[in-house]
Structure 1
Amino acid sequence: MARFLLFLCPMCLLLSTTFFPLMAQPSEQQTRRLFFLCKVWGYYKYFHPGLAVCQGPDWDFALTEAIESIRRVPSQQAFELALERMQQYLPPLEQPSSPPPNLNNRLTYKLQLDWMEDEFLPRQLRTQLLQLREAFRRQPHCNVETGPDGRSLLFAREAPFPAMVYPNEAYRLLALFRFWNAVEYFYPYTHLLSTNWDESLMQMIPAMIAAPDSRAYHIEVARMLKRIQDGNAYLISPEFNQLIGMYYAPFELDFVENQSVICRVAGFETQLKPGDVVLRINGMPIQQLRDSLRSFAWGGHAAGTDELINDWLIRGPEGAFEIEVKNESGTHTYQKRRELDAFGFEKALPDEGAYFKRLPGNFAYIDLKRLNPSRTNNVLSTLLRGKSTPTALILDLRHTSLNFFQEFAAQFVPQSTTFALAAYPDPQFPGTLSLELEQQTGFSGVLYDIALFLIIDESTRGGGEFTAMSLEPYEKLLKIGSPTAGSVGAHLSSLRLPGGINVLFNTQLTRRPEGEEVHLTGIEPDLLVQPTIQSITQGKDALLDAAIAQAKPSTGRVSVVPFPNPCTGFLNVLVTPATASHISVEILDYTGRQLRSYELQNDRAIFRLDLSDLQSGYYLVKSTEDGQVAVHKFHKQ
């Protein structure tokens, strides 16, 4: 029995969130009253000019007072009286002297205000809300301002109430209502959420009321963050850090082939090896642990969520724990210790070597997660100039969140090219976004003309994804790996919540030039490559090996890779030929009828084929090298 006291902290979370007794739950009718209270309070907060200067009423207190009244007396009359009392905190609404706002220069007017006319609300309140709607004019707001980067938002004056480690019910609902309204008016991706944002509010109200202690409250905040499906979000809280754990096991995990696999071990660890499959921790099946954490681990898609879970699984309180693993020699159980903090953990892992270097075969390599942007030009000059120019450059964007697009795209894309459209929420006009700005590559005066390979996966997020997008116009580019985190953008907005919690989320709207969404889906690779248990066991980097293999001249038949697949107007063809005397590439329909024919030079190259006039459908790329034929399928959208 004693060993269960040494559970990994996520296991404690599993037990505490599964078996705690529920507090008095609101009825469906009472939940609906709180739902409308949230909407009314939030609309007044961001649109009433008397609340925009932060010198008037304590609007948070007005909300908590209304919540307590509604919860204390569960009747429609008490609900309407609570709304009326809350409104009494507001200064009189003055009539505007300027004309109504012109929305023609707004990219998005995402306000959904039909709820104001719902007959569940008192008639007088509905009239007052519509009057405020008509009277609103764009205005500076003390509670939401543009951050130092000119793009992100700061909700700097929101009181965090740090002493409330476990806020009472009213302040827990304040946390929910504050977050819900910030997302409603300033998060540009509510239209992509898997659950309607109004429906999420109805579900989160009883869950937040039910949280019986500090641990459960912080988990509910994490679940709120999970609902916006932002792979670049963060939850910063001393209490939450303690829940997950401040100390690290002597290994790193990856989720490979649907199993939790040790991928790196600390230098002092002698029993656990890369490639070991974790079966149990302290007797708890690892999949059960993953499932418990998945209920509040956030991410843009499943792979991104698993990456966060991998980190949480190896963390816990300082001390001993038991781990059961499986490898080629059988099943083994070991006693290990968590005694490294985050800094010590990073130092204990094997040295990754130089972050930029020449690889055998005359290739250059840069690990962007360790590159300081200010060093980019020096690193490129060192690697790509000199007596022996490399034949290819490999940029490793794994675990990269910084934005390098200005540093790299300007030196590979030969002319100003639009690679994305971006827009940002307007803090002075909630619910709208600025005009969509074309994100363009520039020209630095130094231009490199070699094959470029990007290594990407679910750990490539935010600015790293933006960097990948900026290089996509480069004709000699190939992206290798798996889809990125699906949260493109480098501008995170910060919002404080009761309990000393700070949540950060992406408020940059990013699309491709033709309008295609990249949020949630991420940047797709041209060549899908993922690690395997075997490659990890053998100490290989499957993605880097694939990039090197594509860069190397072939010693056999021609290798043809069409990308992107699916494609739109253009199809790139990566050709790695042998020393053949004749190489041809044909585009065929599915009956084998030839539609295009190309004769290619006998050297390694990437060719861009204009297929804009082809109809949508599936086609074949047929390559021939001295009579030997290879065929690939691709999809034209």
Structure 2
Amino acid sequence: MKGFLLSLVLYIPTLTFAQDTFNLDFSDIDNQQPKGWYIEGSEPGMLSTEHPTNNGQSLRLSRNADTGGDSAFAIQMPPFQHQGKELTLTGWIKTRDVTGDGASLWLAINAGSSELAHDNMKDRQISGSQDWQQVQVSVQLTDTVDSYTFGVVLAGTGEAFFADLSIKLDGVPITEVPKVSFAAAAAHPFEQDSGIRITELNATQQQNLLLLGKVWGFIKYYHPASARGEISMDAELFRLLPAILNADNTKRDQLLANWINALGELPPCQRCKSTAEAALVLPDQFWHSWGLSAELSQLLARVFNSELPSRHYWVRPEPNVGNPFFNEKSYTNVKHEDSGFRLLALFRLWNIIQYYSPYRDLVEQPWEQVLEHGIAAVINAKSKLEYQLALAAVIYAINDTHSQFSATDNQIQKSYVGEKMPPLEVRFVENQAVVFQVYQENLPIQVGDVITHINDQTISDRLAYLKPVAAASNEPTRLRQFAEILLATNSNQTKIQLQRDAASLEVQLDTIKIKDLKRQYYYQLHGDTAYHHITPDIGYIRLDKIAGVNIDNMMQQLADTRGLVLDIRNYPGDFVVFSLGQHLYPEAHEFVRFSAMAVEHPGKFVWTPALSIGSSNPNHYKGKIAILINEQTQSMAEYTTMAFRGAPKAKVFGSTTAGADGNLSYIVLPGGYWTGLSGIGVFYPDKTPTQRVGIVPDVVVTPTVAGIKAGRDEVLEQALQYLQAD
């Protein structure tokens, strides 16, 4: 039963709920579901008036023979922010015609990506038809616990009702137990305004800020007092900035040394940092290249060699997966004119990538150069739009499709890109902007038309203009990003010059608000169900529709086919790597290994053992398998392709994928901005990378202009030739 948790947390980035009540009586409802709970695998109708005291309501999990997966569950994964010895989950359970392992409570404690202990009522699950009974699970705590998982499970079929849950720490409701307090989380004098305004930036100031940004981030992640949450590093930055800004090199380094010495003791390390057996690590004494004084360099060496706490305040691995969760204040309402907060946003982002990106070695521009250029750009920005574009340029330099600029007040979208467009879709095919979809009838533009100019601007000039906001891991995905915004404007009409066969045409199109368009992002849509027979002897599975499908039943219906198409030119609607994969392999097959951050050594990533899919299965699918991919195959879709491509008689058809694999970690920035990064490294078992490279197909097939015009799916056509050949 433990296995369901792994499949749940992979590629689901928002399971950690920042709340205090937990909705344990299921009374807080939104859209017919209890708020705060992640629920999966159950049939509809998850709220019930059945209750042990007839004075409340319960959560109803139900499954039948056609329900997808092998269990239904409702869980939460809060951070553990207390001190205590024993954690207990109590609740009431009632069952009706339950078969299989039965209904139970679930409680587990975690340290980063590792589960330390769990209680799932093993050998005590409730099956059959049983009236209400109160049950309990408990775990003993350790000093390293940083999160816990709790919830309810129905493994099998039937109905199970759960009511009046209670979580206690050493016998006290956990909502009444004081949280461990951190000075870093307390309000500081600069919450609304740093008081720093820099109107012009000279060379000395830029170099001082460059060094400050690097040293500040180093101390944030390596100094034990900072890692224990005893220091507000944001406030420390604002205190340092005015003194450092115009200092000469000698005074600057002395100010920094004095500051570090005042932060507290540096206990020598017991778990000393090592570069051995690392998937990725910063060079030994990497700060020596920063041009520091001997005293400051030696002081940083002492900080580096000090002992970090087992739980780091600023960053922790997400439970069971290990991608980083960043514990940062959002400062949503600060003014964009505030130079201090502009620098905080830049320094925070730059140092997160420096120490916690598993792919920082793949950036095209030297990362320190990105910081140097970023300082000038964010300080010299004269408007909110210019400032947002400066941040977007830094995010662009991460070269990760998971890293996109987002904002509550997105001036880039509103003013720079535009919020309207003509009712059509464009794809880049054979290096040309080709009309792929037209949403309204009787327009003077057709599928297959090649656009050459937009409002008298060439396509190449338009792409150069849009480049700062088209962050991507590789060029095919960048073109995908371009295609989505190529026609965006704030005008009511757009003039388009195009080539149709041998004719050159000019058309004027009315625009509509982008938010009012129901856009088709995927190239081809073959039916609107998860699976069907695309020919009498070939099955077709569309993974974006797979949610809620009973995989066992689906494979039984497709078992007699001679070939199977797995279309992953989309984002899977559910995580089916293991549930579907077990039908494709005759025996266990290693398909992936990860690199995960080392909590005790910021900047270091370590290899995990290779992960396998499948098990001994003489009844595995015997036909050929064609897996379809393209630049829209991203993240979980890429991971799924990796998992299935090793199956017997499987071939991958299509073109390079998005090259952004690994669980998404969010990065909040001051001013209502945020972005993300691929938080774990994803590699083939032999350590061949996938990031930026993408999944390389066995048979390269790319659409053509002629094929688009004719409405053909050329990737599928090639796949069908393979499947139908003897």
Contact 1:139 1:429 in 2 (8 A): no
1:454 aligned residue: 627
Contact 1:93 1:132 in 2 (8 A): no
Which of 493, 507, 512 pairs up with 1:333? 507
Q: What secondary structure, in the 3-state scheme, does the structure 1 residue paired with 2:549 have?
A: helix
Which of 108, 129, 135 pairs up with 2:300? 129
Q: Does 1:116 align with 2:292?
A: no
| Rounded Cα–Cα distance in structure 2 between residues aligned with 1:102 and 1:276 | 59
Report the Cα offset of residue 143 of structure 1: 1.6
Over 3 Å counting, the alpha-carbon distance change for 1:376 and 1:68 in structure 2 is farther
1:211 aligned residue: 381
| Rounded Cα–Cα distance in structure 2 between residues aligned with 1:378 and 1:316 | 48
Paired AA for residue 689 in structure 2 = E
Which of 691, 694, 716 pairs up with 1:519? 691
| Rounded Cα–Cα distance in structure 1 between residues aligned with 2:281 and 2:720 | 46
2:538 aligned residue: 363
2:200 aligned residue: 24
1:278 aligned residue: 451
Over 3 Å counting, the alpha-carbon distance change for 1:439 and 1:138 in structure 2 is farther
Deviations 1:39-70 (A, max 9, x none): 2111110111211233x332112213333434
Over 3 Å counting, the alpha-carbon distance change for 1:87 and 1:196 in structure 2 is same
Contact 1:107 1:434 in 2 (8 A): yes
| Rounded Cα–Cα distance in structure 2 between residues aligned with 1:121 and 1:459 | 46
Deviations 1:403-448 (A, max 9, x none): 5422332211211111121121134431222442212112386621
Q: What secondary structure, in the 3-state scheme, does the structure 1 residue paired with 2:300 have?
A: helix
Report the Cα offset of residue 183 of structure 1: 0.9
Q: What secondary structure, in the 3-state scheme, does the structure 1 residue paired with 2:460 have?
A: helix
1:503 aligned residue: 675
| Rounded Cα–Cα distance in structure 2 between residues aligned with 1:343 and 1:167 | 35
Over 3 Å counting, the alpha-carbon distance change for 1:323 and 1:453 in structure 2 is same
Contact 1:297 1:305 in 2 (8 A): yes
Over 3 Å counting, the alpha-carbon distance change for 1:478 and 1:342 in structure 2 is farther
Deviations 1:106-145 (A, max 9, x none): 5346133534345832333223212112213353112212
2:248 aligned residue: 75
Deviations 1:180-232 (A, max 9, x none): 11111111122222222223323322222222221122222222122121133
Q: What secondary structure, in the 3-state scheme, does the structure 2 residue paired with 1:325 have?
A: strand
| Rounded Cα–Cα distance in structure 2 between residues aligned with 1:23 and 1:383 | 69
| Rounded Cα–Cα distance in structure 2 between residues aligned with 1:286 and 1:384 | 45
Q: Does 1:548 align with 2:720?
A: yes
Q: Which runs of 5+ in 2 are unaligned?
A: 1-197
Q: What secondary structure, in the 3-state scheme, does the structure 2 residue paired with 1:178 have?
A: helix
| Rounded Cα–Cα distance in structure 2 between residues aligned with 1:352 and 1:475 | 25
Paired AA for residue 380 in structure 1 = M
Paired AA for residue 547 in structure 1 = A
Q: What secondary structure, in the 3-state scheme, does the structure 2 residue paired with 1:334 have?
A: strand
Q: Does 1:52 align with 2:251?
A: no
Paired AA for residue 653 in structure 2 = I
Q: Work out which structure has the larger RCO, using CA pairs closer than 8 Å and 6 or more positions apart in sequence.
A: 1
Contact 2:423 2:517 in 1 (8 A): no
Contact 2:238 2:340 in 1 (8 A): yes
1:262 aligned residue: 435
1:611 aligned residue: none
Over 3 Å counting, the alpha-carbon distance change for 1:65 and 1:261 in structure 2 is farther
| Rounded Cα–Cα distance in structure 2 between residues aligned with 1:85 and 1:167 | 30
Contact 2:275 2:281 in 1 (8 A): no
Q: Does 1:154 align with 2:328?
A: no
Paired AA for residue 669 in structure 2 = L
| Rounded Cα–Cα distance in structure 2 between residues aligned with 1:147 and 1:269 | 52
Over 3 Å counting, the alpha-carbon distance change for 1:353 and 1:501 in structure 2 is same
Greater fraction of residues in helix: 1
| Rounded Cα–Cα distance in structure 2 between residues aligned with 1:138 and 1:411 | 44
Contact 1:106 1:434 in 2 (8 A): yes
| Rounded Cα–Cα distance in structure 2 between residues aligned with 1:86 and 1:305 | 43
Q: Does 1:400 align with 2:571?
A: yes
Contact 1:318 1:338 in 2 (8 A): no
**Aligned length, in residue pairs:** 522
1:464 aligned residue: 637
2:161 aligned residue: none
Contact 1:262 1:274 in 2 (8 A): yes
Q: Aligned residues: percent identity? A: 22
| Rounded Cα–Cα distance in structure 2 between residues aligned with 1:379 and 1:172 | 55
Report the Cα offset of residue 235 of structure 1: 2.8
Q: What secondary structure, in the 3-state scheme, does the structure 1 residue paired with 2:591 have?
A: strand
Which of 375, 380, 400 pairs up with 1:230? 400
Q: Does 1:43 align with 2:218?
A: yes
Report the Cα offset of residue 502 of structure 1: 1.4
Contact 1:260 1:277 in 2 (8 A): yes
Which of 526, 546, 549 pairs up with 1:375? 549
Report the Cα offset of residue 347 of structure 1: 11
Q: What secondary structure, in the 3-state scheme, does the structure 2 residue paired with 1:175 have?
A: helix
Contact 1:358 1:383 in 2 (8 A): no
Q: Does 1:193 align with 2:368?
A: no
| Rounded Cα–Cα distance in structure 2 between residues aligned with 1:78 and 1:46 | 24
Paired AA for residue 451 in structure 2 = V
2:704 aligned residue: 532
Q: What secondary structure, in the 3-state scheme, does the structure 1 residue paired with 2:610 have?
A: strand
- What's the TM-score, normalizing by structure 1? 0.75
| Rounded Cα–Cα distance in structure 2 between residues aligned with 1:333 and 1:23 | 46
Give me the CA root mean square deviation.
Answer: 2.9
Report the Cα offset of residue 165 of structure 1: 5.5
Q: What secondary structure, in the 3-state scheme, does the structure 1 residue paired with 2:597 have?
A: coil
Contact 2:228 2:309 in 1 (8 A): no
Paired AA for residue 326 in structure 1 = Q
Deviations 1:595-627 (A, max 9, x none): xxxxxxxxx2xxxxxxxxxxxxxxxxxxxxxxx
Q: Which runs of 5+ in 1 are unaligned?
A: 1-21, 553-575, 577-603, 605-637
Over 3 Å counting, the alpha-carbon distance change for 1:505 and 1:312 in structure 2 is same
- What's the TM-score, normalizing by structure 2? 0.67
Report the Cα offset of residue 170 of structure 1: 2.5
Which of 351, 354, 372 pairs up with 2:528? 354
| Rounded Cα–Cα distance in structure 1 between residues aligned with 2:290 and 2:458 | 51
Q: What secondary structure, in the 3-state scheme, does the structure 2 residue paired with 1:545 have?
A: helix
Report the Cα offset of residue 83 of structure 1: 2.4
Contact 1:101 1:137 in 2 (8 A): no
Deviations 1:568-601 (A, max 9, x none): xxxxxxxx3xxxxxxxxxxxxxxxxxxxxxxxxx
Deviates more, 1:427-436 or 1:254-263: 427-436
Matches within 5 A, 1:282-297: 282-297=455-470
Q: Does 1:220 align with 2:390?
A: yes
Report the Cα offset of residue 500 of structure 1: 1.0
Over 3 Å counting, the alpha-carbon distance change for 1:429 and 1:104 in structure 2 is closer
Which of 455, 458, 473 pairs up with 1:300? 473
Deviations 1:297-328 (A, max 9, x none): 21111111111111122434484433333213
Paired AA for residue 414 in structure 1 = P
Paired AA for residue 64 in structure 1 = F
